[in-house]
Copies of this chain bind each other. A is one copy, B any other.
Amino acid sequence: MAVTIESLFGGTVAKFEQGDPPVDIAKLRTAHPEHWMRAAAIRTLTLDAVAAANSGHSGMPMGMADVATVLFEKHLKFDASAPLWHDRDRFILSAGHGSMLVYSLLYLTGYAEMPLEEVKNFRQMNAKTAGHPENFLLDGVETTTGPLGQGIANAVGFAIAEETLRARFGKKLQDHYTYCIAGDGCLMEGISHEAIALAGRQKLSKLIVFWDNNNITIDGTVDLSDRTDQPQRFKAAGWHVQEIDGHDPEAIDAAITAAKNTGKPSMIACKTHIALGHAQQDTSKGHGALTDADQMKAAKEAYGWTAAPFEVPAEIKAQWEAIGSRGREERAAWEARLDEQSDRRKAEFARTFAGEAPNKLSSVIRALKKQISESAPKVATRKSSEMVLEVVNPVLPETIGGSADLTGSNNTLTADMGTFDETNRKGRYIYYGIREHGMAAAMNGMALHGGVRPYGGTFFCFTDYARPAMRLSALMQVPVTYVMTHDSIGLGEDGPTHQPVEHLAICRATPNTLTIRPCDTVETAEAWEIALTSQKTPTVLALTRQGLPTLRKDHKVKNLVAQGGYVLADSDGKRQAILIATGSEVEIAMKARDILQEAGIGTRVVSMPCMELFAEQDLAYRRKVLPAGPVRVGVEAGARAGGWDKLLLGERGREQKQAFVGLDRFGASAPIDELYEKFGITAENVVAQVKALLA
């Protein structure tokens, strides 16, 4: 394919393909006139909204308007009056910058949440029509996209959810497709590799991805940076592939139909022209905001569009609204089938999709806590986590667990889960492979779909790989659970590439994220209870590789981790020192306390498994746990930047003598005890710090 690349930065524009005849817009218009006008509505609304905002991305919706129109008109199972219908097909725009495509569709088909006013307010303060589509602003937006590659990886999760729920509740209640539009950017991102390979391996045959094959990225033509043969790539991953003209509604229709019955995930390569019909068609400028009034006018003329800005002729609007209500009968039939179910099944279905934990959860947690407080085992908290999952998974049938190829290390597999794959959709354990990022994004997709509560594991250090998806978990407000083991230098000889230092800081700095680092099995059980009852917040569990003693030997029904931090052991005698510790270092703090008490220094130990939850407690409680007066020493095998200044220096800027025993540098490869010794994270050093502060 000989492509003329004339760089944007040389002042000229990139060409679609040398030798290709220019697009004959008139021919497109007349070939399928009614379709054309429906699609033109998307194109013109996009142009108008972006121009009004003087900001945004015009070209992508203009390029994929035909595909979207055919999809919505002929295939997508949905009902605009019921955006959250549990058996709707899912439509995901991985190329999230093309948000006006979604917004146009929601408006045209008649979603109540998308009146014209919102379209006109595109990208303005308080509008639901944010620059990139946000799931928490609009019911009609399945997932928040913008960061490229995330949507297609979420789509894998949506497809997994459909499979598992169909296995659970039957085809009559769960039988839908997941459609996803992805662009060249998405397909260059590494996460797309993970998503595509996982979907192929899992034979997710109800996943259909449209590749917006427009040959354009921001910096120029795709060829500037990539020459991957996408069809061959997808085939290599086990996908079914078709290549079509992305502006031919008949071809689009036939391809979607064919895609539904291949037994594999399906990719439809749609050859398109970005900013079709506009002067910037097929250029990287066409990717961005097309605001030139004359050019917009000319494009509309080319479309045969005569309505005023933001106006859609009544006839065309009516056609779109008919599309929006096309699924009403099917939904009514579905509602009827749901209603025919037993009360118990209906309740379970509702509970599952509402993300509400069953009553049994708290009782099994409580029973486990009691048993642990009595037997007081010494186990790594990754093992504690497994013990919790062993009692939880049987009573929470909606959990789907997995690991990025560290199942034995993350302890994420429990008895009788069964492996989820194409031979066993009732399986509840997914072998994600070495795909931390793809796993996290799939988990997001599952949670967003509803009816599934996913958890996934890897080494805590490799949250780095999953980072963009973990941020989106927080932004999108999905209650996924990250089981992150080997959480410090405590992992020993694997060394600094594997030893987290700043990772607690990273997770704690991310808004809407609970980072819980439990000190023993009881705290781990409480942490899981919090994670599994969360509705809008993801949880990161930081768990040890190494064994820890049970410190919570005094059984309490109350979930103390829910307070974020609490007094584990108070001082004997006048309180001169407060030790604040998390996870594996709580044991160290308790040992230090023993030594200090022996020396007559009254010492309180505060376990602080979750700083975010502690910060949410009222001031009175926080002052009760951390009163002014005593010196404070924090102990955590991680960076001080992980929220310790606030806890140690005190929030009020009053005088506070304090010290931190932790690790602000990369670790080293050696056995665990030598590492703790080397870095001074020992009871002896904590004692020395206290004494120095009291001197």
Question: Any chain B CB within 8 A of the CB of A212?
Answer: no
Kindly specify which of A127-135, A558-566, A600-608 makes contact with the partner chain.
Answer: A127-135
B431→A492 contact, CB < 8 A: no
Q: In the complex the two chains form, is B431's CB within 8 Å of A225's CB?
A: yes
Interface residue? A680 (CB, 8 A): no
Closest to A125 in B: B670
Residue among B125, B220, B493, B653 making CB contact with A123, cutoff 8 Å: B493
A225 to B200, CA, bound (A): 10
Query: Which residue of chain B lies nearest to A238 when distances are taken between CB atoms in the complex?
Result: B227
**Cβ-defined contact, B670 with A126, below 8 A:** yes
Instruction: Identify which of residues 618-671 in chain A touch chain B, using a CB-to-CB cut-off of 8 Å.
Output: 639, 641-643, 645-646, 648-650, 653-658, 664-666, 668-671
Contacts of A471 in B (CB 8 A): 464
* A434 and B148 form a contact (CB under 8 A): yes
* Nearest B residue to A643, CB-CB: B641
By the criterion CB–CB under 8 Å, are B200 and A194 in contact?
no
Q: Is A432 among interface residues, defined by CB-CB distance under 8 A?
A: yes
CA distance A241 to B674 in the complex (A): 46
Q: If A124-B670, A190-B193, A653-B649 touch, does A55 touch B511 (CB 8 Å cutoff)?
A: no
Q: Does A435 lie within 8 Å of B670, measured CB to CB?
A: no
Closest CB in chain B relative to A236 CB, distance in Å? 4
Asked if A666 and B511 sit within 8 Å, CB to CB, the answer is: yes
Bound Cα distance A96, B148 (Å):
29
Contact (Cβ within 8 A) B237 A225: no
A467: contacting residue among B220, B467, B650, CB under 8 A:
B467
Which residues on the B side are within 8 Å of A36 (C-beta)? none
What residues on B are CB-neighbors of A227 within 8 Å?
197, 200-201, 237-238
Across the interface, do A669 and B130 meet the contact criterion of CB distance under 8 Å?
A: yes
Judge whether A664 and B185 touch: CB under 8 Å: no
Q: How far is the CB of A472 from chain B (nearest CB, A)?
A: 7
When each residue 512-545 of chain A gets 1 if its CB lies under 8 Å from chain B and 0 otherwise, what string results?
1000000000000000000000000000000000
Residues of B within 8 A of A191 (CB): 190
Q: A376 at the A/B interface (Cβ < 8 Å)?
A: no
- Judge if A574 is at the interface, Cβ distance under 8 Å: no
Binds B, one of A16-24, A497-505, A549-557: A497-505
Binds B, one of A109-117, A162-170, A172-180, A406-414: A406-414
- Tell me whether B505 and A146 are in contact (CB under 8 A): no
CB neighbours of A665 from chain B (8 A): 511-512
Chain B residues closer than 8 Å to A238, beta-carbon distance: 227-229
A257 to B239, CA, bound (A): 34
| Contact, CB under 8 Å: A468 / B475 | no
Task: Please encode chain A, from 556 to 582, with 1 for each CB lying within 8 Å of some chain B CB and 0 for all others.
Answer: 000000000000000000000000000
In the bound complex, residues from chain B placing their C-beta under 8 Å from that of A433 are: 188, 217, 219, 224-226
A104 at the B interface (CB under 8 A) = no
In the complex, per-residue mask of A231-260: 1 if CB is within 8 Å of any chain B CB, else 0: 011011110000000000000000000000
Tell me if A200 and B228 are in contact (CB < 8 A): yes
Q: How far is the CA of A656 from the CA of B475 in the complex (A)?
A: 34
Contact A185/B649 with A130-B495, A468-B465, A669-B127 known, Cβ cut-off 8 Å:
no
* Interface presence of A506 (CB below 8 A): yes
Does the CB pair B511–A668 fall under 8 Å? no
A469's nearest neighbour on chain B, judged by CB, is B464
Q: Are A465 and B464 in contact (CB under 8 A)?
A: no
A398 at the interface (CB under 8 A from B): no
A656's nearest neighbour on chain B, judged by CB, is B653
Which of B8, B146, B419, B505 interacts with A497 by CB under 8 Å? B146
**How long is the Cα–Cα vector from A670 to B431 in the complex, in angstroms?**
41
Rounded to whole Å, the gap between the CB of A498 and the closest CB of chain B is 6
What's the least CB distance linking A643 to chain B, in Å? 7
Does A145 make an interface contact (CB < 8 A)? yes
Is the CB–CB distance between B472 and A497 below 8 Å?
Answer: yes
- Given the interface pairs A190-B189, A431-B224, A434-B188, the reply to whether A666 lies near B132 with Cβ below 8 Å is no
Contact with B along A51-87 (1 / 0, CB 8 A): 0010110000000000000000000000000000000
**CB within 8 Å of B: which A199-233 residues:** 200-201, 217-220, 223-230, 232-233
Contact of A408 among B132, B219, B496 (CB under 8 A): B219
Out of B235, B407, B654, name the residue touching A219 (CB < 8 Å): B407
Contact of A509 among B193, B462, B465, B502 (CB under 8 A): B502
Interface: A546 (CB within 8 A) = no
Q: Is B497 a contact of A670 with CB atoms below 8 Å? A: no
A494 at the interface (CB under 8 A from B): yes
Q: In the complex, are the beta carbons of A432 and B656 less than 8 A apart?
A: no
B interface footprint on A417-438 (CB within 8 Å = 1, 0 otherwise) = 0010000000000011111011
Return chain B residues, CB-CB under 8 Å to A394.
none
CB neighbours (8 Å) of A671 from chain B are 55, 123-125
Please tell me if A405 contacts chain B, counting CB pairs below 8 Å: yes
Q: Are B670 and A123 in contact (CB under 8 A)?
A: yes
For A434, A467, A502, A639, the residue with the greatest tally of chain B CB atoms inside 10 Å of its CB is A434
Asked whether, in the complex, the Cβ of A198 is within 8 Å of the Cβ of B225, the reply is yes
A461 at the interface (CB under 8 A from B): yes
Which residues of B lie under 8 Å from residue A232 when comparing CB positions?
A: 232, 235-236
Q: Is the CB of B506 within 8 A of A406?
A: no
A505 CB contacts on chain B under 8 angstroms: 505-506, 509, 641
- Provide the residues of chain B in CB contact with A184, threshold 8 Å: 434
Point out the residues of chain B lying under 8 angstroms from A219, CB to CB: 403, 405-408, 431, 433
A147 within 8 A of B: yes
- Known: A225-B431, A669-B132. Is A501-B511 also a contact (CB below 8 A)? yes
Q: Mark A121-160, 1 if CB is under 8 A from B, else 0.
A: 0011111001110100000000011111100000000000
11 contacts between A and B (CB under 8 A): A8-B408, A53-B493, A123-B670, A189-B194, A224-B433, A228-B238, A233-B237, A236-B236, A506-B509, A646-B649, A653-B658
Question: What 6 pairs between A and B have smallest CB-CB spacing?
Answer: A190-B190, A225-B433, A645-B645, A193-B193, A146-B497, A130-B669
| Beyond A147-B462, A228-B236, A649-B649, 7 additional pairs, beta carbon < 8 A | A131-B494, A146-B494, A190-B193, A218-B406, A219-B407, A462-B468, A475-B497
Mark A residues whose CB is within 8 Å of B: 7-9, 53, 55-56, 96, 123-127, 130-132, 134, 144-149, 184-186, 188-194, 197-198, 200-201, 217-220, 223-230, 232-233, 235-238, 403, 405-409, 413, 419, 431-435, 437-438, 461-462, 464-465, 467-468, 471-472, 474-475, 492-498, 501-502, 505-506, 508-512, 639, 641-643, 645-646, 648-650, 653-658, 664-666, 668-671, 674-675, 678
